[in-house]
Amino acid sequence: MKKNEWESVIRINILVLKSVGLWPKFSRESRINLYTLYRVICIYLFVDGPVFFQILYVFLVPSDLDSLTKLMFSLLTKAMVCVKVYFLMRNLKNVQQLVTVLNDDLFQLRNSDQWKMMGPALFVRRMTFVGFWSLAGTTSTLWSIFPLLDKSFKEFRLPFPAWYPYDTKKTPLYEISYIHQVIHLGVAASIDANLDTLISSFMLITGGQCDILCDNLRNTKPENFAQELLMSIQHHKLILSFAENSNRFFSMIVLGQFFTASVNIAMAMFRLSMVAPLSSEGYSLLFYVSAITIQLFAYCWFGNEVESKLLIK
């Protein structure tokens, strides 16, 4: 088997994280270069900045319950993206080391049968990846074009309400603010989808390594028993280390995701009861709830797989 089979599972995640400034080269992380400037622009201007202005809107602009619920579930989602970015940056060395471990000889597949053994889990991961990406992208697109669909852009309505230290109802400030929010929605959706699928991939790899370890033990040859048993012990230690380091990275992310998802589903369902089912907002809410459902499904499915295999096997 090729040595980068496992890394291929998360290759798309790494490429997208690089494209939004969240995956600098490991050896140059502490150096200031053009990619460092790009990271600062992406994180502070297009991720944290719009969330900050939206929080200011909550405190500085009076609004009714309908407007507040309409604002809060999207605000919580985007605030959770900021939290995920923070934990990724805090554990960046650890996460990149996890990717490096995937090229370790002990983690490699010995034959095609072991790769076929991973088929069902890889299929679930692939469907989760496609489903979550599609729903997250559709939701972000609908949020971005709301003012165009209902022609409220003529009243200088933005994709989501936010307080700015200038009058957004003047040209070209309105257009600049609109484009800024659209870019934010695209970047936030990319980060959210990629980090969630990256975490589920780490869980999948941990569970898959448990299956591979068991298969290696079952097929240990008597003439090389001592050597292969020693390799299996080292493999087991590496799996436990990989699982522990993975958990150190995403444990708080998972906790925050379950909390915000519970609140957001409740608010989204409340909003669904107040809008026309066939309206553009109604469709966006349905896509949004579906995306959160798949998001939680991935955490629960792969998390349960890891827990059962580490405890039983």
Helices (H), 28-172: 34-40, 49-60, 65-90, 92-101, 112-117, 119-149
Task: Specify burial of residue 255 (Cβ count, 10 A radius: 0-12, 13-18, 19+).
Answer: exposed
In sequence order, the 6+-apart residues with CB closer than 8 A to the CB of 21 are: 35, 38, 39, 40, 41, 42, 43
pLDDT digit string (tens) for 195-215? 999 999 999 899 888 888 988
The pLDDT of residue 42: 92
Domain extent, residue 262, equals 5-311
Residues 6+ apart with CB under 8 A from 91: 248, 249
- Would the pLDDT of 191 be above 80? yes
Instruction: Over range 244-254, report the average pLDDT.
Output: 90
Cα radius of gyration rounded to whole Å, the chain: 22
In whole angstroms, what is the distance from residue 77 CA to residue 71 CA? 10
Give the residue-averaged pLDDT of 59-66. Answer: 75
**pLDDT per residue over 224-247, tens digit each?**
888 888 998 999 999 999 999 998
Q: With CA atoms as reference, report the closest residue to 208 among 288, 145, 117.
A: 117
Which residues does 29 contact at the CB level (< 8 Å), separation at least 6? 92, 93
Give the position of tokens 């995937």: 102
pLDDT at residue 53 greater than cutoff 80:
yes
The span from the CA of 97 to the CA of 114, in Å, is 24
Consecutive H or E run containing 233: helix 225-272
Phi-psi region of 32 (alpha: psi -120 to 50; beta: other; left: phi over 0): beta
**Could you write out the DSSP letters of every residue in 261-312?**
HHHHHHHHHHHHTTS-TTSHHHHHHHHHHHHHHHHHHHHHHHHHHHHHHHHH
Q: Are 144 and 159 in contact (CB under 8 A)?
A: yes
Q: Say if residue 52's pLDDT is above 90.
A: yes
**Tokens read off for 255:** 């906790």
Q: How many domains are contained in the chain?
A: 1
- Which residues have C-beta within 8 Å of that of residue 17, sequence separation ≥ 6? 23, 191, 194, 195, 198
214 within 8 A of 110, measured Cβ to Cβ: no
In degrees and rounded to multiples of 5, residue 243 shows phi and psi of -65, -40
- Percent above pLDDT 70 for the chain: 95
- The CA angle 244-291-251, to the nearest 5 degrees, is 15
Residue 49 has pLDDT above 90, yes or no: yes
As a whole number of angstroms, the distance between CA 166 and CA 222 comes to 77
CA dist 212 and 219 (Å) reads 11
pLDDT for 302 beyond 90: no
Q: What is the pLDDT of residues 165-182, one digit of tens each?
A: 999 999 899 999 999 999
The answer, yes or no, to whether residue 22 has pLDDT greater than 80, is yes
Poorest-confidence range of 144-148, 267-271, 285-289? 267-271
Q: How far is CA 171 from CA 126, 181, 217, in A?
A: 44, 16, 69
pLDDT, the chain, mean: 86
